Structure 1
Amino acid sequence: MLRNYLPFISLVFVLLSGCKKTDKPQVVPVMSVNDSFESAVSGWTADFADYPAGEETKFQLQQGYATLPAPLDASKGGFRISGMNRSDDLFMFFRKKLTGLLPNKVYQMDLEVTFATAVPSGRAGAGGAPGESVYLKAGMMPLEPQKVLNQQTGYYRMNIDKANQAVDGKDMQVIGNVTNGTTTEEYRLVKRLGSFSGSTNSKGEIWLCIGTDSGFEAMTTLYYTQVKAILYE
């Protein structure tokens, strides 16, 4: 009986082999990023936007290296970024400049961000959910992403187009939220993945920016532990 099927099996194998030949050629990475914040923060800087100038203390804005909270391994650390959202739109971000690329060229990036969060899924909160309404965004752009003061409103805003909360901007897009994937309020390490494109400047530089855009009107505290990325032409 098996002999009757052998010609058919061979034909299927040939067809499948032929299909493989039509696949797109493998894309070769031009640069990779693998930054761990386990023992220190190097090459990355953090800041905040979408809040009134001079209200840093009221918004409890904090950033820097810190050991991981229980029940995580306290012998390791992360890039801790924390803030009290009193403006209904607090943006907490960190960034890094990548160099040595071709000038004025569009690159693709596959990104993986690992961070510790204690926010359970499905919780309600003021202004929005503490997990699902805090949107993680990422993107690449040719200029340094930074806050600038709007003289008319007195608020710090970003000099790039990140849009607001759940909406994708030209320079940054939503790649997830800050829930820990459980119904328990305790710190867990989670990963978020994203793919997007961005252009270098005339010097062959590009900035990678990652941040949270919050609709939850209370405290959000995250510990970023690792950023991995691959750039393609």
Structure 2
Amino acid sequence: MQSTFMVIAVLAGSLFTFSACNQDNVPLQPGLPYQSSFQAGSDGWSAGITDFGKAQENSMEFKAAWKGLPAPLDTTRKSLMLSSMNRSDDAFMFIKKKVVGLQPNKEYKLVFTIELASQYGENSIGIGGSPGSSVFLKAGASVVEPVSVLKDDFYSLNLDKGAQNNDGKDAIRLGNIATTDDKEGYSLITRTNADKPFSVTTNDKGELWLLIGTDSGFEGLTTLYYSKVNVLFQ
């Protein structure tokens, strides 16, 4: 089936998500890591944004697309691009995917290795915080699908991802999105939790939802490109 990509608005939560029709919920092969490199499509991942007030939903400028990496990187390599303006000083942009074929009711230790393109230096300065060192990459999993919910005119995630640089029950921090130097232009960075595996237990069908996202303390525009996601189930 030919991959398709689209950007849609989910009105009950004012989220924008992308989706593709290829490789949705493919059973995992026992003993092998799960990997998405996005060269043929989104691989069943979808995207959203949360942690902002209802009054701000039309000004977050959230976009998601399947597209080539930005120059000066190899623009023929595909990726998942997420971009938003952090009007709330707390925006959480995320991607999620349901995985099946795991052992039912089994505790797994997950090691994420995530490659993404960033242009924000470690010493960069911005409103509210650094565009690089104040935007934190998180990853986790749950048997519950991650969705944005509205309560008291504020959209928040239905899972515990932790606040900004703090870990939560359903996601932990892998580091920030800062590049190793402060020169202009995108470069690829890799983050992993190899030294701190994330524990989660599947449901009685052997299913989990994977969650990856950025918790931002920078009050400005952030545009990132996820180029590879590897998850080792131990």
Determine if the TM-score, normalized by the shorter chain, exceeds 0.5: yes
Listed one character per residue, the Cα deviations across residues 95-140 of structure 1 (whole Å, up to 9, x for unaligned) are: 1111111222210111110000011111121111111110000011
Identity, % of aligned positions:
43
Q: What residue number does 2:85 align with?
A: 84
- Cα distance, 1:202 vs structure 2: 2.1
Listed one character per residue, the Cα deviations across residues 174-212 of structure 1 (whole Å, up to 9, x for unaligned) are: 001111211112100111011211111122101111000
Amino acid at match of 1:156: Y
CA distance in 2, matches of 1:40, 1:56: 28
Residues 93, 209 of structure 1: 8 Å contact kept: yes
Q: Which runs of 5+ in 2 are unaligned?
A: 1-29
CA RMSD, 1 decimal: 1.4
| 3-state secondary structure, aligned to 2:31 | strand
Q: Which runs of 5+ in 1 are unaligned?
A: 1-28
Q: What residue number does 1:204 align with?
A: 206
Between 1 and 2, higher relative CO (CA 8 Å, sep ≥ 6) is seen in 1
More helix as a share of residues: 1
- How high is the TM-score relative to the length of structure 2? 0.83
Listed one character per residue, the Cα deviations across residues 32-52 of structure 1 (whole Å, up to 9, x for unaligned) are: 211112342121011010012
Q: What residue number does 1:192 align with?
A: 191
CA distance in 2, matches of 1:38, 1:102: 28
Amino acid at match of 1:181: T
Residues 41, 79 of structure 1: 8 Å contact kept: yes
CA distance in 1, matches of 2:224, 2:39: 14
Residues 137, 212 of structure 2: 8 Å contact kept: yes
The residue correspondences of 1:160-199 to structure 2 (distance < 5 A) are: 160-194=159-193, 195-199=197-201
Listed one character per residue, the Cα deviations across residues 140-183 of structure 1 (whole Å, up to 9, x for unaligned) are: 11111111111x2x111111001110110011110011112111
Residues 80, 225 of structure 2: 8 Å contact kept: yes
- How high is the TM-score relative to the length of structure 1? 0.83
Q: What residue number does 1:128 align with?
A: 129
CA distance in 2, matches of 1:68, 1:41: 14
CA distance in 2, matches of 1:52, 1:202: 36
Residues 140, 199 of structure 1: 8 Å contact kept: no
Return the index of the structure with the highest Cα Rg: 1
Deviates more, 1:29-38 or 1:209-218: 29-38
Moved over 6 A (4+): none
Q: What residue number does 2:102 align with?
A: 101
